[in-house]
Every structure is written in structure tokens, then in C-alpha cells.
A and B are shown apart, each in its own frame.
Chain A
Amino acid sequence: MDMSSELKVEGDFPIHFRYTAGLAGERFLREIKDNGRLVAARCSKCELNYLPPRIYCERCMSKLEDYVTIASVGTVDTFTVCKQDSDGKDLPQPATVALVRFPSAHGGLVHKVKGEVAIGDKVRVVFREKSKRTGSILDIEHFEKIA
């Protein structure tokens, strides 16, 4: 084969992004930032409380406008111990991550866990100190196992 077929041309996307949290995301993140609590959007037709909230029910496509507070204690549905960061490089320390379900909510939250957990463990949501919150999902510091 011709050597020229080995030539490579390097490149990337010279763009970056800025995403709005959206109508439901704004409400969710503000509640965490201002009040340190989780809210879900209620579909009264399907009797589901969407966590994180949305402006629509994905099942019946009703517009959702009512929000309910969700107690920030839940159960580990599944977890993993992730070794790499988003670029594929090793994390300084492996991160335990869990999908946590909450009793009255449809959905749940995916976030980091402090310490070890097993499926079925009860955990609570630990919010960042109020002065340090920025209106991001990282205003949740981690889940913490309840002894």
C-alpha cells in the first residue's frame, strides 16, 4: 500500500457550549441552592412525581406545573466504582457512584457516594454548605450511607 495512506490530518471542534438548565431544571436547582431541598414535578394523571423534575410527563405528555418536595433519604438501586474521568484519564481516586431511588419519587438521582455502599443501602443526600452553592447539580456534595 502507498505510504501516503498513512497520513493523518489532526483537528477538533473549535466550539464550546453553554446549556440553559431549562424551565424545570431552573426550578430544581434553585430549590437546592436556596432551600437545600429536592423537588419533583407531579403528573396527577399518571400519579408520578418526576425526579429530577420536567415540564412534561414522558408517559402521557401532559404539561406539569405542580411541584412536590421529596425527602432527601433514599435507597441505592445500583452503584459502580468508576476509575476514569470524562476524558479517559485515571481519576486521582476511584469514585463510587450510585443511582438512588426516593420513596415518593419517580426517577431518582445519580451522584457520587462517600464511602462504600451496597445495593439496597439507605443513603441521604448531603448538600454543599449554602454559601458555596452555585445552582448546579454539584450543589449536592454526595450521598452518605445511613448507619
Chain B
Amino acid sequence: MGTSLKEDDIERQKVLTVAYRPKVKYAWATGIAIGRFLMGLRAGEILGTKCEHCGRVVVPPRTFCEWCFKESNTWVKLPDTGIVNTFSICYITADTTRVKTPLIPAVIGIDSTTNAGFLHLIGGVKPEDVRIDMRVKAVWLDASERKGSITDIKYFTPLK
């Protein structure tokens, strides 16, 4: 009915187990909209799309408006500024290992969009000074280092 084991029971082989490491590997095609978004980042630009039907300007960009369910093919160059919609100060990694210097993940609402934004990090500021609704600006990698990745933006930092 749910026989409880301790980690020790397994390590000392009191019960039998099989260890396995999966070797599944992926090469995800970025698709059309995100492919173009990533190319934009390499060029130092944040690209969004506009739905000509409802007028919504969104980022991340998409080839269709999920509200109107129509194609959305109008590309818009967006400013690299916005506001902190929400943030966290995170002391652990994905496998729950503790880190000394916390990451500050945030949802950045990008200016000139219809309440749209994306996940990124806050930097160049003390964790205790970050606030919701704070205005921020992207800090980019040097053009020579950019490779068409979300990390071409190093982080967002408070707008002075």
C-alpha cells in the first residue's frame, strides 16, 4: 500500500533497483516565427507581430493570433525597453542545488505591445532593489558575440 523506502535502503542495496540514463536527444526546429525572432535578436532587435484583425501587438511573435485564429503576418520592430511585470529572486538550480548568487527571473512587459512580454533575467541591480512596475532596458551582448539566441540579451537592467 505504498511501502516507504529510505534513500539508504537503496544505496545499501536492501532493495533491488535498475539505473538508467536516457539518451534521447532533440534538435528542435525553431519554426518560422521564433526563427525570425532569434535572427532579430542577433541583429540587436526585438521583433513582435501584430494581428491585423484584433490589433494586438505581441511578443514572442507568432504566425497566428490564438485569439482570432487568423494568420498574423505583420512584423513590428519593438523597443528594447519595458517594465517588470513580476519577478523572483531564485537561490536554487533546476535540480534544487543551492547557489550563492541568486538569479532574478522576471516577466518583462515590452513597451509598445498589448500587455505582452517574455521571460528574462534582471541584472546590474541589487536583488532587494527590484520592484514590480520598475522600468528596464535590455543589455545586449556585443554584436560579434550574438548568435541568434534569447541569451543575446544578457539581462534587463533598471532604466536610469
Q: Using CB atoms and an 8 Å cutoff, list the residues of chain A in contact with chain B.
A: 1-21, 23, 25-26, 29-30, 86-87, 135-136
Contact = CB atoms under 8 A, between A and B. Distances in A.
A15 B39 CA distance: 30
B23 A19 contact: no
A29 B35 CA distance: 51
8 contacts: A4-B148, A5-B31, A7-B35, A7-B38, A11-B28, A13-B22, A20-B15, A26-B16
Contacts of A7: 29-30, 35, 38-39, 148
A19 B22 contact: no
Given A20-B5, A20-B16, A136-B18, A2 B30 contact: no
Interface string B9-38: 010010111111111111111111001101
Given A4-B36, A4-B38, A12 B25 contact: yes
Interface residues of B, number: 29
A87 B24 CA distance: 9
Given A2-B32, A7-B148, A21-B16, A16 B38 contact: no
A11 to B, nearest CB: 5
Contacts of B148: 4, 7
Contacts of B24: 12-13
A9 B28 contact: yes
B15 A4 contact: no
Contact of B18 (A14, A18, A30): A18
Nearest to B39: A4
A7 B39 CA distance: 9
B39 to A, nearest CB: 4
A26 B19 CA distance: 15
A9 B27 contact: yes
Given A4-B148, A17-B22, 20 more contacts: A1-B32, A4-B30, A4-B32, A5-B29, A7-B30, A7-B35, A9-B27, A10-B26, A11-B26, A12-B24, A12-B25, A14-B95, A17-B19, A17-B20, A19-B17, A19-B18, A20-B16, A26-B16, A30-B16, A135-B16
